[in-house]
């Protein structure tokens, strides 16, 4: 790697920013956790979960304050024996874990609300961007479902709705576009949460068990989005009229291919991809570097003409 006017070659470990580095670090920590941390008595470490470098745990205090402090220090020493020295803050009934504020009430119940970093810019895709119209619908509906899934109190949901609405207005969306989306998204989110709650309360009431006997096989039609192209509903209509059920011909799902197998396709999904942006057009994706241009030391060559360092993917 290059640092200032120096070129440094790493002989051990994985460089930060390399593709396998997070997976290797995650695997190392997971092995250590399984061997040393998760075996800690559950009478103290009641619950522990980790997502890459964010962890969340529940600690049960010992009735004896002195013994509880001893257990806590023992746990800290086990974690620090991993090789890194961690700084431990005081245990608290309020904690931030990823995008959640989690509060433990006196009754032993957990209450959650959304968390965002103070410097978060909330750079949602603006309406002037060359994206399919469904992007805005998916953005609003997805955020509403997230609110009703992660917020425990209605006051927090309404506050997040207001902030979300204001941020979208700041990004250039109009009231006439947002109001119908917000009303429809709130209605659907409430229905989905109510249906999920009913299914958890009475599993036999799950409507998905009796709705469909035979699975639907779908095919995808990928194309780059352009505002002048036909919308997805027109493509779907053409598919139904001329391919799925053509006039005077058999339906598609009753035909067989050249090998005699049935064509069980009865659904088309139109999948748009965005057009290339300036970053795609101007940024370098791959750098072709001649390693010998960066060193005066002759490198041993293999029989195929590549140097050993080129073969191993190392750059001085």
**DSSP line for 98-127:** TTEEEEE-TTS-EEEEE---TT----PPPT
Instruction: Please name the residues in contact with 43: beta carbons below 8 A apart, sequence gap of 6 or more.
Output: 60, 62
Q: Phi and psi of 33, rounded to 5°? A: -60, -45
Q: Has residue 274 been placed in a domain?
A: yes
Residue 1 belongs to some domain of the structure:
yes
Which of 205, 232, 253 is at the close of a domain?
Answer: 205
pLDDT of the residue at 314: 42
Picking from 115, 65, 55, 66, the residue whose alpha carbon sits closest to that of residue 89 is 55
Same domain, 110 and 198: yes
Domain boundary among 205, 239, 262: 205
Give the residue carrying structure tokens 């402090």.
69
Residue 1 and residue 58 in one domain: yes
Q: Which of 218, 215, 217, 220 is nearest to 232 (CA)?
A: 220
Angstrom distance (rounded) from CA 315 to CA 221? 42
Residue range 277-288, pLDDT digits in tens: 777 777 655 555
Same domain, 2 and 67: yes
Distance of alpha carbon 172 from alpha carbon 143, whole angstroms? 18
Structure tokens belonging to residue 47: 């619950």
Mean pLDDT of 162-167: 95
Span 197-247, pLDDT tens digits: 888 777 665 555 545 444 568 889 998 888 888 888 899 999 999 999 999
Q: What is the pLDDT of residue 285?
A: 56
Rounded Cα distance between 143 and 188, Å, is 12
- Angle, in degrees to the nearest 10, between helices 154-170 and 175-201: 150
Q: Which of 4, 20, 99, 5 is nearest to 313 (CA)?
A: 20
Q: Is the domain of 66 the same as that of 44?
A: yes
Q: pLDDT digit string (tens) for 38-72?
A: 889 999 999 988 888 788 889 999 999 999 999 99
Query: 191 lies in which domain range?
Result: 93-205
- Indicate the residue among 66, 91, 116 that finishes a domain: 91
In eight-state DSSP terms, residue 35 is I
Q: Are residues 258 and 291 in the same domain?
A: no
Claim to verify: residue 256 and residue 270 sit in the same structural domain: yes
CA distance 276 to 282: 10
Does residue 246 form part of some domain? Answer: yes
**201 plus 101 within the same structural domain:** yes
Q: Are 265 and 217 in contact (CB under 8 A)?
A: yes
313 in a structural domain: yes
pLDDT at position 71: 94
Buried-exposed string 237-266: b where 16+ CB fall within 10 A, e elsewhere: eebeeeebeeeeeeebeeeeeeeeeeeeeb
231, 307: one domain: no
**251 with 170, same domain?**
no
Those residues whose C-beta lies under 8 Å from the C-beta of residue 255, and which sit 6 or more positions away, are 262, 263
For the chain, what is the domain count? Answer: 4
> Does 63 share its domain with 47?
yes
- 50 within some domain: yes
Whether residue 211 lies inside any domain: the answer is no
230 and 168 in a single domain? The answer is: no
pTM of the model: 0.67
Q: Average per-residue pLDDT in the chain?
A: 83
Instruction: Classify strands 265-273 and 217-224 as parallel, antiparallel or unpaired.
Output: parallel
- Cα(229)–Cα(272) distance, rounded to whole angstroms? 11
Q: Which residue has the higher pLDDT, 165 or 85?
A: 165
Contact at 8 Å (CB) between 257 and 263? Answer: yes
Residue 212, domain member (yes or no) = no
210 occurs within a structural domain: no
């Amino acid at each position: 790697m290059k640092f200032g006017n120096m070129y440094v070659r790493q002989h051990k470990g994985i460089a930060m920013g390399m593709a396998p580095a997070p997976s290797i670090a995650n695997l190392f920590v997971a092995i250590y956790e399984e061997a040393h941390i998760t075996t800690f008595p559950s009478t103290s470490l009641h619950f522990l979960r980790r997502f890459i470098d964010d962890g969340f745990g529940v600690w049960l205090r010992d009735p004896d304050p002195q013994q509880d402090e001893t257990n806590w220090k023992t746990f800290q020493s086990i974690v620090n024996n991993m090789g890194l020295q961690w700084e431990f803050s005081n245990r608290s009934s309020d904690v931030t874990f990823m995008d959640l504020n989690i509060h433990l009430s006196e009754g032993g119940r957990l209450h959650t609300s959304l968390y965002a970093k103070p410097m978060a810019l909330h750079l949602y895709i603006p309406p002037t961007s060359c994206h399919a119209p469904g992007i805005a619908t998916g953005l609003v509906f997805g955020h509403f479902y997230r609110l009703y899934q992660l917020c425990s109190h209605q006051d927090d949901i309404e506050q997040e709705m207001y902030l979300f609405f204001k941020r979208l207005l700041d990004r250039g969306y109009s009231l006439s576009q947002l109001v119908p989306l917000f009303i429809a998204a709130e209605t659907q989110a409430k229905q989905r949460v109510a249906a999920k709650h009913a299914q958890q309360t009475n599993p036999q009431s799950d409507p998905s068990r009796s709705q469909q006997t035979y699975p639907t096989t779908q095919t995808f039609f990928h194309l780059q989005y352009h505002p002048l192209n036909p919308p997805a509903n027109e493509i779907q209509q053409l598919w139904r009229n001329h391919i799925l059920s053509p006039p005077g011909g058999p339906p598609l799902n009753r035909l067989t291919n050249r090998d005699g197998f049935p064509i069980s396709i009865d659904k088309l999904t139109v999948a748009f991809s965005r057009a290339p942006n300036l970053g795609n057009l101007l940024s370098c994706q791959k750098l072709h570097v001649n390693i010998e241009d960066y060193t005066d030391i002759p490198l041993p060559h293999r029989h195929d003409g590549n140097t050993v360092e080129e073969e191993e993917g190392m750059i001085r």
